[in-house]
Amino acid sequence: MRTLSALALWAITLPALAGIPTPPPGTIPEPETLALLAIGVLGLALSRRRKNKK
C-alpha cells in the first residue's frame, strides 16, 4: 500500500476539519466507454502514421 505524503494527507483532511462537506466520489466509467475511446485514439494514431509514410 502506498503511503500518503504529509501534504496529501493535509489536503484530504482539511475540508473535514473545516466542516466543509466533501462531494461524493465520481462514478467509474463503463468499460465500453473506455474501449470506444481507446479505439478512437488508436485510429487517430494509425491514420497519422499512415499520412507520415507518404
pLDDT digits (tens, 9 = 90+) for 33-50: 889 999 999 999 998 877
Residues 10, 18: contact at Cβ < 8 Å?
A: no
Overall average pLDDT of the 27-32 stretch: 74
The string over 15-29, giving b where at least 16 C-beta atoms fall within 10 Å of a residue's C-beta and e elsewhere, is eeeeeeeeeeeeeee
pTM: 0.41
The predicted structure's pLDDT at residue 30: 75
User: Residue 43 has what pLDDT?
Assistant: 92
Q: For residue 1, is pLDDT > 50?
A: no
Percent of the chain residues past pLDDT 70, beyond the cut: 78
